Amino acid sequence: MNITDLNDKQRSAVLHTEGPLLIVAGAGAGKTKTLTYRVAHLIENGVAPESILAITFTNKAAREMRERTEKLLEHLHIHTMPVMTTFHSLGVLIIRENAMRAGLPKFFTIADESDAISIMKDAIVSLGLDPKQFEPRRYKNIISRQKGDFVTPEEFEKNAESFTADTILKIWRAYEAGLAAEKSLDFDDLLLRSVILLRDHADIRESYQRRFKYLHIDEYQDTNELQYAMTKFLVGPEKNICVVGDSDQNIYSWRGANIKNILHFERDFPGAKVVLLEENYRSTKAILEAANAVIEKNTMRVPKDLFTSRTGGEKITVCEAFDERAEARYVAEAAVAARDAGVPYENIAVLYRANFQSRALEEAMLDYHIPYHVLGTKFFERREVKDVLAYARLALSRESLSDYKRAIGFPSRGVGKGTLVKVFAGQRDTLPPAMKKKLADFDALLDKILLFSEQHPPSEVIKYIIIESGIERTLAQGTDEEQERLENVRELVTLAVKYDSREDGLTHLITDAALASDQDSLTDKSSGVRLMTVHAAKGLEFDTVFVVGLETDLFPHRRRASPPAGGTEEAEEERRLFYVAITRAKEKLYLTHASLRTIFGSRQINTPSEFLADIPLHLIDSDTELGSDEKGRFVFFD
């Protein structure tokens, strides 16, 4: 490894190996490169790889970090690697290694979002409440936020003095009972229960501090109270903690991220070294100048000024369209022109503030025969993939009632809801002989899968499940849609191959499937223009980027930008969100807005977003889009 590949600031961060270190890394400033070089430098200088822990937020980011580090260390021919994982995966590790102390089986089930919503609905119904009035997703989100703020039901009860709070508490306890019956934890529990173990058991806490001498946290500005607490508990007496982040890219306060965690790092760790990475290797000078002009209005930030040594680059194109259809048409035509100029469709992204905006864009993509990919359709959330994984989980542990219900129901075995109620109530003996035979055959199948899994790698196990369960036969004989579902479960076999060489590979596959993020659905193999929200685009980069819907009340969003941007924490986050959006672009940036937009069935007249006024005029190339008014007359805005 040659650290002369780094600039002076990056090198300074890599060489500071002892004591607390804060790396403030601007967008495109090479934070992952700096982090992986630092890890590799530690190992080159005698630090045991297994004593290094690096935590990030998505499987995709952890995988990229691991691959880069492996490449840097090729010359050493080491047999172990640092632990590079996500917060949630680390939570799983801590709970599984201390399952008995946590009062859980070692192989507990992780309830994904849809499973958790289903359990929440059952909890609400069990209390005699109407799920239409007490909407399950809403209460799941309320409880999720409480857990993220490091609040347990017992602590919540101390302050539950209103009727609403009392109702939340009752639903929360019923929901927890539903999870317990399934031997399941939801995503928030993976952090909450692991942090409680670290907090309440000094021996557990100290064992991880001895195990991980050097701690690295990526995207530190996005940590919530639980992740912040986990970080503090994992830091040993040597205070060898390195955090990387950017206060200007804190855009997740709505899910608990606390910008104060990074702003207060020097208070938490006195004497910390601070390194600012300001040289951007991604974007053109015009894009960076616009980004700096936008974000400098915020007050809650670590001041910095992005710059680049690159020369040239196009101006930023700002387009006013008549309505959302004209805007979408403009984007489609510009995307075709970019493709014709040599930019592959997969290097083009269209970013929007709200999911509903994708509809008009998708219609335009279809009209212009442009392949596109909407980020957010998780592979692991497909019904058929969840069916196969349910068999795998059940083979390892029979505790999950929802997995049992899902697996025995597909392919259909003629086992109805009434029978399942008796099975779950422990009343199998009351069933007719024919039904007992069906259940015994199903249990025998699970036993066969378990035995097979003990002797074969994960990819072979998944293939075995698909065949022996009857899933392959059922889907192969079905409609075109079912044929596509069969292709998806076969793709799961391909994906499972990478777990074949890992110890407990099937368990790791099941865990990663439960923890997959939206970005994990965006594979290198997928082609076409990317359509996604700005939140989903964080951490990604593209040659050409369109940021659409730049109108007052849409971006900045009405709920989060009043009073005017810059006046509140929420408004500053909207400005940070726009900063993140424009810094995704490497070569060309388009900013569009529509004079009219239909929102919730109502046609609205819009004014351009205040963010557009923040961009210096000399950086802008104005454009217009032909559109039609409600009477079908063509109009042109200039």
Residue 325 burial (C-beta neighbours within 10 Å; 0-12, 13-18, 19+)? buried
Tokens of 435: 């039904």
Which tokens is 455 given?
């002797």
Query: In 3D, which of 579, 572, 27, 576 has the Cα closest to residue 299?
Result: 572
What are the backbone angles phi and psi of residue 307, rounded to the nearest 5°? -145, 165
For residue 241, the cross-strand partners are 215
CA-based nearest residue to 277, from 56, 15, 13, 584: 13
Catalytic (active-site) positions:
31-32, 218-219, 249, 584
Say if residue 608 is preceded by a cis peptide, omega within 30 of 0: no
| Residues sharing a CB contact under 8 Å with residue 337, sequence separation 6 or more, in sequence order | none
Dist CA 335 CA 321 (whole Å)? 16
Residue at 38: amino acid letter = R
Any idea what the Cα angle at residue 137 is, between residues 136 and 142, rounded to 5°?
100
Residues in Cβ contact with 369 at an 8 Å cutoff, skipping those fewer than 6 apart: none
Which residue type is seen at 120?
Answer: M
**What are the strands, taking DSSP E only, across 362-486?**
372-374
Name which of 380, 425, 506, 442 is nearest 107 in CA terms: 506
Residue pointed to by tokens 């799941």:
140
